[in-house]
Structure formats: C-alpha cells, structure tokens
Structure 1
Amino acid sequence: MGLAGFLRGLSFVLGLVCLALGVVLLVYGVWRRDKVLLRVLAGLSMLLFLSCFPDFLLFVVGSVRGGREDVSFRRVAVLAVVLLIGFYLFVKVHPGFRGVGFDGALSGLLEGLEVVPLMAMVGVKLGVFAWCLHVLLGCRRGDYVGVVVREYVVGEGGCLGERRVWLGRPVVFGGRFNPHELYVGGSGAGKSNAVKLRVGQLAGDASRSIIVFDWSGEYLYLEGEGFRVVDLAEGCFNIFACHVGDLVDAASLAFPGMGDVQRALLYEHASSACSLEELGWELERRFVREPVFNVKGALMALWQRLKVVMGEVKGFGLDPERLLYGRWVVSFSGLGVEECKVFLAELLLRMLFREALRLAPLRLTLVVDEAHRLLGHGDIGQRRVEPFINRVMREVRKYGVQVVAASQRLSDLPDACLANFGRLIVMGNLSPVDLDRLGRLGWHLKLVAERLGVGEGFDLREPGLAERVVVFRFNLHRALRKGLPAARGGRQGYTSCRVGVAGGELTAELSVDDRRLLERLRSDEVLLKALWAAMEGRRVKGFAELRRLGLAKEVAGSVRLTRQGERLVKALGLKGGVEAGGRV
C-alpha cells in the first residue's frame, strides 16, 4: 500500500468528515450566535488542518517531482488560490471577527486560538471542496469505468514490485485520437461486463448511432433503453443484394473446407440468382447435367451448405443502410447453426462497410462482442481469405466509425490489426499462447496478466508501460447487478417465469428465442424426450436436432446440455407437465 497511499486515503476521509460537520456547525453557530459551537468548529477545523496538510504536501511533492500521483500544477494552483480567497472572505464577512484583528488577538489568548485556526481551516475546506469539484468536472470529459486497485513497478535487476491502492483513483476513458477499443481475455474474465458498461456510456451521447452484434441474446435488454432489436432469423437482409465476391468470401470464411471448385461454382451461379431458392434450382440443374464426378461432389456439398442457411432464415426485408442511423441490436441468437451466424455476420460487415464508404462521414459505434467467432473459421489458416473484421478495424476510423470489440484470443489478431486500436485492455484467463505473446512485449506484462482477477485489466496502450503497469477493476454493469437479461416491466421480448430449483426458487428471464423453442419442445414429444435424455447424459432419437438448435452438445464422448438447454429444462420442469425426475 505504501505510506503515501495510506496518508492520502486517511486525510481524504477525515477531510470530508470534518468538512461536512464544519459546514453544519458553522451555519448553526452563525445563526444562533453560539460561541460554544464556534469553539467546537475551531477544534474541527484544527483536525481538518492536520488531515489536509499531509495530503496537500503529498500532492505538491508529487507534482514537483513528476511522481505517479494523479495531480498537476494546475490543480495545486487552484487549491492555493481558493484557500487564500476563502481566508480573505471569511475574515471580511464573518461577524465573529469584527473588532478582532491580529493586534487584538494578542490581547486574548482564547480568542486567538479560536479565530486563527478558524480562518485558516475554512479556507482549507473551501480548497478541498474546489479540488473535489475540479476532479468531478474533469471526469465529465470522459467516461468513468472503474478504479485503480494496484500498481506494478518494474525495478532494477528484473524485480517487479506491487503496490496496492486502497482508495484508488477513478479510471476515466476519455477521447483519444484513435477511438477503437479492444478487450481481450479468456472466458469468465469480465469482457462482456466491460463491453456492456461501455455501450451504456456511449449511449449517453444522443448524436451517436450504435450497432451491437449480439450472438447469444445478452444484449436484448437494450430494447428497453432506446435500441431496436433485429432478429436475423425472422427478418434478414437480402444476401444477393451485395457484391458476389463478398458473398463468396463470406461463405469461404463461414464454412470450413470450402475449396476452390465450390468457390468457383458459387461465384458462377450466384451472379445470376436473386434468391436462395433460385440458386438451389440452378445448382440442381447443373448437378443433373454435370458429367465430371468431382464437380458433382462439389455441387452437392455446396448445396448442402446453402440448405443450412435456407433452413435458418425465415424472412427477408432488412435494409443494412438503416442500421447506420439510430440504435440497433442485430441478434444472431435465433440462428441455431454457428456457420450460419458467421456467414451472415461476415456478409453484413461487408455491406455495412460499403454503405459507410458511400455515406461518410458518420458518427457510428460498431460493437462486436465475441469477435473471435469471426476469426476462427474457414480458410483463415490457409490465408485464402482474410476475416473482414480485420479490415474494418484498420480502415473505418477515417469514415467516422468507432469499433468496440472483445475477443478471447489475442493471437487471432495480426499485429497490423492490433496497431489500429487506441485502447487495448488485457484481462485475465489468457491462453498460454497469448501470455507468451505478451511476454515478448515485456517480461513483466506476462506476470501481471497471470495475476489478474475477474473484472480486472490493464491498458496495453498506456504510456510508461515499460516502467509501471496500472491494474484497474471495471465497475459492475447495472444489468449484471440485477441479473441478466435485465428485463423491465412491460418490455417487449421478455417474459418472467418462476422456475423451481432445489432449495428455493429463482426468477429466470426467457427471451423471444427461448419462448419459441419452449413452445416447440412442448409440441414435439420426440424432442422433449431427447432433451431429458441429454440431461441424463444419454443420446436418443432427436439428439441431432437438439444439437442443431443449440440445446445440447457432445463433450469428450458424452452428451451435455448447453446453458440455453438448461434454462429450458428448468422452465419445463414447472410449466411443461414433465416430472422432476426427467421422465415424459
């Protein structure tokens, strides 16, 4: 912690307490002309002086030496000037000083002991108040995201010293020349909380448009905060309205193992098709008359991939240009197949990028949580097609677009892409590969990253990182404090249900997608039996459909439910007419 930090925290607490009591007693004493209260006030003022003086010295010494305290010459000057002004005004205005000057103070020791500390300490009180006001006004130039919890200082001889901060200074994300932000950390490190916090802060700017890519329904609570939700499973955009090259590249990234023959066939037939059904007819006719066996196999594989998209998307009509203005949540949670989510996300990014080129300059923020979903598919390992999100991060800043992204793997992003982020927050639970990459930037960065707790991180773009690493903890987003999804009364898209569990009850929030799946399970006895069998670790008829819907998965040869599947099992345990033992 350090002696300086202890004195700073203690003096700040004592100063605030004495300031509050002093103001109350001063007002009451002047009103009642009570000298006893004024004597009490003089004693409190002396205590305030003793508490503020070490703090003031620490600030001055830190400013002169250029230390690590969060101070500046301007703030010290503000405190000194306000102290003098307060001293002068108090002598001129307060009736207790009439007839008591510096000469008269010598004639009465008691009056002198009462008056002199009172004059000085009221000025100090005003100075402390001005200091706090100055800090608060300074915080308005940015967004308050958390507090500093500890600092690591690199010493001589390869030593890394740790200094804890008990009353840490606030961490403010102000405007930087490069507004892009990237949050990197493993599962459970607190990335989603940090992104939700930033989305809420950016939404405070009424002139800013925001697009949120929501993979699993985590951001549907924004519907009650002025955002409009677009479910791509119900109302998707026309995938044939984009450039055919973008369509082929997006399919190559989304579907693993898509070779050159399939790319050529898709490019040839997608150029003349206007819908997925028409493209399917073209591929079927080509399959019938195609004499080459290898091409027939490629046609069949391509058609099977497109059938996945056709089975997931139930409607069209979304205009991507509308997303560039206003507040939007693009929900992929209604799509059960991961490849379909990646395909539509890649294609939508390309369409938004082309619209941004045409309509620039914009004032837009693009939020992509779990960006690693767009970086670990298809031909990335073969370097045939680059994930389009890399290009978005490199080029959209000049068109007035800010990118806020979160990823589990730092190693998925090339150095050229990472260089385009003005703020790169490293959080905990990193993989060994990412830790080694940090170690190449600085041996101490790897050690600090290994010690990060949940919700903690440090900025890899912070100046002076070679000598000192400041670790801060993000504030908890209000949606997480209340329980996600944070549905409010009357909000569309959610409904509350009581779920019975062992040892009591808990309240779960079901999204629109959960309710739709719940109704399907209630009407399909085969799927319901398969769901309960998967809960017991057994595979029965209907498991393939459960896996396609994202309700069950295979792990190390066994069958398990996903989180969405567990939610539906709990809901069915009360409302579905199913016994608690899992029998239908």
Structure 2
Amino acid sequence: MLRVLAGLSMLLFLSCFPDFLLFVVGSVRGGREEVSFRRVAVLAVVLLIGFYLFVKVHPGFRGVGFDGALSGLLEGLEVVPLMAMVGVKLGVFAWCLHVLLGCRRGDYVGVVVREYVVGEGGCLGERRVWLGRPVVFGGRFNPHELYVGGSGAGKSNAVKLRVGQLAGDASRSIIVFDWSGEYLYLEGEGFRVVDLAEGCFNIFACHVGDLVDAASLAFPGMGDVQRALLYEHASSACSLEELGWELERRFVREPVFNVKGALMALWQRLKVVMGEVKGFGLDPERLLYGRWVVSFSGLGVEECKVFLAELLLRMLFREALRLAPLRLTLVVDEAHRLLGHGDIGQRRVEPFINRVMREVRKYGVQVVAASQRLSDLPDSCLANFGRLIVMGNLSPVDLDRLGGLGWHLKLVAERLGVGEGFDLREPGLAERVVVFRFNLHRALREGLPAARGGRQGYTSCRVGVAGGELTAELSVDDRRLLERLRSDEVLLKALWAAMEGRRVKGFAELRRLGLAKEVAGSVRLTRQGERLVKALGLKGGVEAGRRV
C-alpha cells in the first residue's frame, strides 16, 4: 500500500513539476502570469508526503519496520494531518517567496482579490480570492499601457509601480512627464530631473508648424488669424523676445482693426510663456538616452505646461524617427491634460499624444499613460494599447462606453474600490473578469516630496577666452556644444560665416544643433548660437549675427 501511495505521489509530483519550474524561472527572470500558485502549493504538499513515504518503504533506513500492512497503513495515516499542515505551510511559504522576490525587483504590482463570472440568464457571480496569485505585468506583443480612472482611483500609484518595474531593466531608457512634482523621488534612483522653468529647450529649433499647432492646443480659442500671424512671424524669429518685438512693430503699423486685435491677443498669450520660462539649454535628443524626469512643476500656468509638453512630444517624435530603433519608455501621467485643450471638437488640431500612441511602437518606443477619461481617446488610439487597466471613479460617460463593450463590464467598474482595477485586454473577458488590487507604492507610504524648483544641472561655468576670462551662465548642453565647436574646425568656420550672414559648409549641422537659422535667404544666429559666440570670444559676433 505504501509503495502504491509513493507511486501516486511521484505521479502528482511529475504533473506539478512544470509549474514548479515556471515558478522558479519566473521568480528569477521577471515572473510569469500563467503560473498557478495553487499547483505550486500542492506540489509542496506532495513533495513532503512523498518524502515521508520514501523513508518508510526504503530498505536502507534503519528502524523502519511495519507489523503488517494494516499497521503500516494506520501509522502512515496518523501523520497525514501533520503532513498536510506542514505542506500548507510550505505552500504559503512558496507564495510569499514569489511575492518577496517580486517586491525586490519591482515585478509584483498587485494581487488578485476577486473574480466575476458571467452566468446564464444575465447574472453576474462574484467569487472572492483569499490567496490569489500576485499580478506580474510581463511582456506582451503590444507594449503600450493605459490606466484609466477618476480622481483618487489610484492611477498615479499604479504608474509609479510600473515605472519601478521598468527601471529594473538596465538597458531601457525612460522619460517621465511630471506635472506636479510627484516623481521627483526618482532623482535618487538613477533618474535625472530637468526643470523646464529653469532649463527649457529652444522652442524655435522645432518646425514652425509644430509651434503653431502646439500653441493652438495650449491656448483655447486661438483663431485662424492668430495662427496665420504666429506662422508668419515665428518663421523669422529666433527667440520669444524677438518674436514679441516683431508683433509689436506689426501692431503699430497694422491698419486693419481685426488684425490689430489678433496681434494683441497673440502677444498676450506669448507673454505667459515668457514669464514662466527663465532659461534655456535643454537638448531634446539627450532625453532619448538615459533616464529623465521632465518636471513641469516649476511652471505655474496650465497653458504654458501644455504648450511646452506638446512641443516636446513633437520634437521627441522627430528625433525618434531619425534615431530609431530605440529602447525607450515614455511615461505620461495625467495625460488628460494634453487631451482636453484646443480645438479638438472642431478637428483643427489633434493632440499629438494621440499620434504618439498610434505610431511610436514600430520605432522601439513604449508609452505608459494615465488618464481620467476614457472618452477623451478615440477608438483608433485605444486599439493600440496592449494593456488597458480600468480603475474606479469613472464618469457616467465612460461607464456607458464600457457598457457598450459588455453589460457586465459596467457593473464591475462600478464596484471597483480605491486601487483596484481590471485589464480590458485580458483574454476571456466576456466570461470572466479578474479584479486585482495594486500595492501601495513606497513614495506614497512615506509621503511625496514637495514640488521644488531650482537650477538642477545648470551651473555657472568659467570659459577661457583670448585676452582674459569670460564668466557666463552656460548650461550642460551649451558646454557640450562649446567643446564640439572647439574640436570641429568645419563647424567653427560655419559659425563664423553665420555671424556674417553667409552660408558655408557645415551650416546644415549648425541648424540641426539650433545654433543658426535661415531667414529670408540670409543666415542668422539663434540665441544659443550668440551665447556660444560670446563664450568663444569671437569679435563682433553678436552684432554681425543680427544683420540680415
């Protein structure tokens, strides 16, 4: 009898062994969502019982004797409750081991709390899971992720957990758009923080059409006349100050009253940006490599945040086209800020984040976004998300939209608590909905850092020049370009020619770097180019560069 039981235990062991291997490999290499942790617990019980039976039947163990088959069977049955208790403990230990390993690597983001099963006759059954499997977000064919939920549903907490998991991949670059300063804690975890209020990118280095579209989205009510005026004057301007001067000069000599009003309104909008941004020097191309937190918390006006975010997305997209393939994750928390502005209802300008979600996957870019409203995203964008997490506190419009996908999805969404959600892309959702609860991120347990400004990464630098020293405030990007100009004779000659309004070999590279610009058939230095000319000590550089 004992030999028969030992054989049965071996069969059970072999049936559960694949799950055991998946458990071990998944714990080491990132987790597997398909692992059945109940079978792992059964495996632990079978191993213990099998070991006991092996000791009893193996002739090499001394002191093992049975007075008949019946006494042996009774003796084996006496320890079954004890073995079962120890086996359950081992199963719980195996489950906890996976949880602890997942917490250490950031793979474990939550745990299944209940399941809803669609029954016959339109009924929805609920089953609580007291010891459910941990939720590990593994790789999928489509890497884009969207977290949708109302205010206070726990979207930001879920995104923080996901960022922590992605940060475990040392080869992956990450860009986080931080609106309110709640991701500044990442500065101590290998991320670099860029405060756009202190070190913004050159907005005139991008295509003028992108500049006009970003302004149209950021400033609601911007009509066709203002768009045309901005396109006309931004094409020849190199800075906000110069653009403002051009608009004021046009305002003085403009005879048409309506155009005068449009000029004044446009200038007032641009003054908002001028008052918020205090410095320049950020190179968007650098953000594609490494790990960065782009902080908008130092900007006090919402329209300015949206304007710079739209422009930065466009510039990053163009750079990604040029440098593809990449291994980059773009994290946009509170994406509804970019979806609720501009002439969206009139279909004049589409928020650029919609295009980013549709097209960047083929360039090696993953998008992780969170939004309060599911209805803000068109179906063409939602179809591009491989994981769509629905959380609580949804608006009635979003609930009705879920109801159109399945009557039971609306009921489940209405019952979600804080920090709970389900995956709208989970297979078998028409029959069963698995609800999981996200863990509480460390930054929320310990308290988020306050939004802080300051010149992070932008320090004073003394640059040696002929005839003495010049003390100038140069950004990290300025110093990098300065070293390149000093080591590249072709670029230095092209910069000298651009100061005099001439175009020579190397001008295309200067324009790509944002140091020079072509205006009305001639050449003009940008503000950044003028700063570097001063740092290099080229005589008469600024005056010559301003001639057209």
On whether the aligned pair clears a TM of 0.5, the verdict is yes
- Offset of 1:583 from its aligned partner? 56
Q: Offset of 1:485 from its aligned partner?
A: 2.2
CA distance 1:209–1:74, shift in 2 (3 Å): same
1:185–1:409 Cα contact (<8 Å) kept: yes
Match of 1:375 in 2: 339
Per-residue deviation, residues 518-577 of structure 1 (Å, max 9, x unmatched): 999999999999999999999999999999999999999999999999999999999999
| Displacement after TM superposition at 1:79 (Å) | 3.5
Contact conserved, 1:485 with 1:509, CA < 8 A, in 2? no
Asked if 1 retains the 8 angstrom alpha-carbon contact of 2:198 and 2:454, the reply is no
Instruction: Give, in angstroms, the shift of residue 96 of structure 1.
Output: 8.7
Answer yes or no: is the 8 Å Cα contact 2:40–2:91 preserved in 1.
no
Q: Give structure 2 stretches of 5+ with no counterpart.
A: none
Moved more, 75-84 or 321-330: 75-84
> C-alpha displacement at 1:185, in angstroms?
0.6
C-alpha displacement at 1:203, in angstroms? 1.0
C-alpha separation in 1, matches of 2:237 and 2:525: 39
Offset at 1:143?
2.4
Q: 1:440 to 1:387 in 2, by over 3 A?
A: same
Q: Which residue of 2 aligns with 1:452?
A: 416
Over 3 Å counting, the alpha-carbon distance change for 1:551 and 1:361 in structure 2 is closer
In the TM superposition, what whole-angstrom CA distance separates every residue of 1:126-179 from its partner, at most 9, and x where no partner exists?
899889879999999992211111111111222111111222221121100011
Quote the residue 1:5 is aligned against: none
Deviating more after overlay: 260-269 vs 163-172? 163-172
More divergent stretch after superposition (95-104 vs 440-449): 95-104
* Cα distance change of structure 1 residues 522 and 405 upon mapping to structure 2, 3 Å threshold: farther
Q: What residue number does 2:198 align with?
A: 234
CA distance in 1, matches of 2:540, 2:122: 62
Shift of residue 448 of structure 1?
1.0
TM-score, length-scaled by structure 1? 0.67
| CA deviation after TM superposition for structure 1 residue 97, in Å | 3.1
CA distance in 2, matches of 1:220, 1:187: 21
Answer whether contact 2:116 2:124 (CA < 8 A) is retained: yes
Matches of 2:372 and 2:88, distance apart in 1? 49
**The 10-residue stretch of structure 1 (136-145 or 150-159) with the greater mean CA deviation from structure 2:** 136-145
What is residue 30 of structure 2 aligned with on the other side?
66
1:83/1:127 contact within 8 Å kept = no
Aligned residues: 548
Indicate conservation of the 8 Å contact 1:426/1:460, yes or no: yes
SS in structure 2 at match of 1:464: coil
Distance 2:29 2:448 in 1: 47
Task: Give the drift of 1:91.
Answer: 2.8
Query: TM-score w.r.t. structure 2 length?
Result: 0.71
Larger CA deviation: 543-552 vs 205-214:
543-552
Separation in 2, partners of 1:306, 1:46: 76
Shift of 1:272: 1.0
Deviates more, 1:555-564 or 1:73-82: 555-564
Please say which of residues 221-230 and 112-121 is displaced more in the overlay.
Answer: 112-121
SS at match of 2:79: helix
Contact 1:336 1:550 in 2 (8 A): no
Offset, 1:108: 7.5
Rate the CA distance shift 1:509–1:168 in 2: closer, same or farther, 3 A. Answer: farther
What do residues 22-61 of structure 1 show as CA deviations (whole Å, max 9, x unaligned)? xxxxxxxxxxxxxxx9999999999999999999999999
Given the superposition, is the C-alpha separation of residues 172 and 579 from structure 1 closer, same or farther in structure 2, using an over 3 Å criterion? farther
Q: Secondary structure at the match of 1:175?
A: coil
SS in 1 for 2:127: strand
Given that 2:175 and 2:294 are in contact with CA atoms closer than 8 Å, whether structure 1 keeps it comes out as yes
SS state at 2:390 partner: strand
3-state SS of the aligned residue for 2:146? strand
User: Taking structure 1 as reference, are residues 320 and 47 closer, same or farther at Cα in structure 2, changes over 3 Å only?
Assistant: closer
C-alpha contact 1:49 1:124 (8 A) present in aligned 2:
no
Following superposition, the deviation at residue 373 of structure 1 comes to 0.4
Cα 1:131/1:260, change in 2 over 3 Å: closer
- Distance in 2 of aligned mates of 1:66 and 1:154: 32
Report the Cα distance in structure 2 between the residues aligned to 1:165 and 1:557, rounded to whole angstroms: 71
Superimposed CA distance per residue, residues 330-371 of structure 1 (whole angstroms, 9 cap, x where no aligned partner) = 111111111000000000000000011111111111110100
Give the Cα separation in 1 of the matches to 2:527 and 2:395.
Answer: 23
- Distance in 2 of aligned mates of 1:446 and 1:129: 37
How far off is 1:83 after superposition?
3.8
Equivalent-residue separation in structure 2 for 1:168 and 1:432 (angstroms):
31
Deviations 1:452-494 (A, max 9, x none): 1111111111111111111111000011111122999999999
- SS for the counterpart of 1:140 is helix
Once the two structures are overlaid, the 10-residue window that deviates more, 294-303 or 132-141, is 132-141
CA contact (8 A) 2:375 2:398 kept: yes
1:112 aligns with 2:71: no
| Alpha-carbon offset, residue 98 of structure 1 | 2.3
1:313 aligned residue: 277
Bigger RCO (CA 8 Å, 6+ sep): 2
CA RMSD of aligned residues (A): 15.6
Return the match for 1:297 from 261, 269, 276.
261
Which stretch shows the higher mean deviation, 44-53 or 321-330? Answer: 44-53
**Structure 1 unpaired stretches of 5+:** 1-36
Further displaced range: 188-197 or 67-76: 67-76
SS in 1 for 2:30: coil
Structure 1 contact 105–112 (Cα < 8 Å) conserved: no
Q: Does the 8 Å contact 2:6/2:54 carry over to 1?
A: no
Instruction: Check whether the contact 2:2–2:57 (CA below 8 A) recurs between aligned residues.
Output: no
Q: Tell me, yes or no, if the aligned pair for 1:514 and 1:568 is still in contact at 8 Å.
A: yes
